[in-house]
Structure 1
Amino acid sequence: MVHAFLIHSLRAPHVEDVGFCRVLYSCVFGAEKSLDDPRPHSAERDRLLRKEQILAVARQAECMYQLQQQASGRSSTDLPPQSSSDEPVPLHEASHGAFRLAAGDPFREPRTVVWLGVLSLGFVLVLDTHENLLLAESTLRLLARLIFDHLRLLAPSANLLLRADRIEAILARFLPHGQLLFLNDQFVQGLEKELSAAWPL
């Protein structure tokens, strides 16, 4: 099962002075409470706990992205310029990876994180440790492509923060209730037609 999906900002290596990692969107499938915490739980405390957990994951994913960029000798200036919002997003060139989170850091149970860095955005899935990583990576690439296409993120006036409803609609179809789906091309095309009908490009 997928426990969380998030989109966060990415900074290039050696750019520590240009703001901090920001979570731009997150969706948590099921809440996690600490069984060892004797204090009464409230909706606000649970919300803050989830926010802290998601931010911790985003920071670790950004760190992995920066390390990979440094190791490959690439920087954000090496990426091909995106001159038009109609050009395809270079997902095949995107940095990607996976790492494990130990129990208690930051979730109560161990988790696996799959991440994808596209231009200045990071896309992340937080999974159970036994999930199929190849399926998770292909799902994450599909979600990233759909989000770029249907939110027109390459357009000059694009604002990810104002389009959470579209992201939720994409997740509801392609990651329902946090379940990874084996999707063939025909089924994906059918779901994409639904999205296009709901929100014409």
Structure 2
Amino acid sequence: MVQCFLIHTVGPVNGLAPGESRVLYSQVFGPEQSALTPLDEIQLEPEQRRLLQKERVAVVARQVRSAVTLSREASGRVLVETVLGEELAAIQEADTGVQRLGRGEPWVGEKTVLWLAVQGLAFTLVTEPHENLLLAEGTLKNITRHCLEHLRMLGTGSDVLLKSDRVDVLLHRLMPHGLLLFANHRFTQSLEKDMTNYMAK
């Protein structure tokens, strides 16, 4: 089960302090569990719960940004800006990583975080620790590819916030209700065709 999916920045952003990350899109699946006790959760107002969820996602984004920065510094590779039409090359050159979130950081139980950073954007999945990492990684790459190819997220002036409804559809088709799907070749081809037709609208 996937706990949440997010798209966020991993490069400098005007108006943000160094080391901060701006969350451009997030989707939380399943029951919302935080480091608070169930009694504390019940006593929260809806607005407080929303802010708590927002802070959980922000914690993940900050940790992933730090990991991406360290990975890029360690590799010594120079980032080459990718233009529209070179999305597949961008994904192949992307930085990837996996890290563990301990108990209370910020959920009750441990979680596994998978991230894929393409230039200034990171696509991140937070899963249960027992999930199949190969399946999760394949799903994350597939979602990222669709986002970059169909939603043109690498283009100048690309506004992820205005494309959130299309990202919702992508997630619903590729990862319904936060479930990672084992898919055979025919099912994948059919899904790809459906997605291409939908995104062409």
| TM-score normalised by L of structure 2 | 0.88
Task: Provide the C-alpha distance between the structure 2 equivalents of 1:148 and 1:65, rounded to a whole number of angstroms.
Answer: 19
- Distance in 2 of aligned mates of 1:80 and 1:159: 21
Shift of 1:41: 2.3
1:143 matched residue in structure 2: 143
Aligned: 1:49 with 2:48: no
Shifted more, 87-96 versus 115-124: the winner is 87-96
Equivalent position amino acid for 2:48 in 1? R
8 Å contact from structure 2 (residues 81, 119) kept in 1: no
Deviates more, 1:145-154 or 1:18-27: 18-27
Aligned-residue offset at 1:87: 2.4
1:8 counterpart SS class: strand
Say how many residue pairs are matched: 194
- C-alpha distance in 2 between matches for 1:153 and 1:173: 19
Q: What does residue 63 of structure 2 align with?
A: 60
The residue type equivalent to 1:44 in the other structure is: E
Listed one character per residue, the Cα deviations across residues 18-71 of structure 1 (whole Å, up to 9, x for unaligned) are: 683100000000222532527712221111111000000000001000111111
CA-based RMSD: 2.0
Superposed CA offset, 1:149-184 (max 9, x none): 121223334211101010000000000000011123
Question: 2:33 maps to which residue?
Answer: 32
Change (3 A) 1:139 1:39: closer
- The residue type equivalent to 1:47 in the other structure is R
1:182 aligned partner:
182
What's the counterpart of residue 79 of structure 2? Answer: 79
Q: Percent identity?
A: 42
2-structure distance, mates of 1:38, 1:24: 26
Amino acid at match of 2:76: G
Distance change in 2, residues 1:189/1:62 (3 Å): same
- Structure 1: any 5+ residue segments left out of the alignment? none
For 2:69 and 2:100, locate their aligned partners in 1 and report how far apart those are by CA, in whole Å. Answer: 17
Q: How does 1:1-201 map to 2 (within 5 A)?
A: 1-11=1-11, 20-30=20-30, 31-32=32-33, 34=36, 35=38, 37=40, 40-74=43-77, 78-83=78-83, 85-89=84-88, 90-200=90-200
SS of the residue corresponding to residue 165 of structure 2 reads helix
Change (3 A) 1:38 1:127: closer
